[in-house]
Amino acid sequence: MLRRRKPLVVSLLLAVPLLVLVGFISTLFSDRPGEVVDQVLTVISQHRASKPDHR
């Protein structure tokens, strides 16, 4: 049971720094950082909503 969930944990651990890095880079190149952050947050929330939670 634990072995089955491991790829999900690994992908989450890889995805979080990647999202932070992308957000950081986009704020560097953006004139309005707050707008970019809002956009990223909406994308993440939409992605979570569209993906059903399997338990």
**2-36 b/e with 16+ CB inside 10 Å = b?**
eeeeeeeeeeeeeeeeeeeeebeeeeeeeeeeeeb
Which residue range forms the structural domain that includes residue 10?
A: 5-50
Q: Is residue 55's pLDDT more than 60? A: no
Domain count, the chain: 1
With 0.75 as the threshold, say if the pTM is over it.
no
26 occurs within a structural domain: yes
pLDDT in tens, 2-48: 566 788 888 888 888 888 888 888 777 767 667 777 887 888 888 77
14 occurs within a structural domain: yes
36 occurs within a structural domain: yes
pLDDT reported for residue 44: 80
55 occurs within a structural domain: no
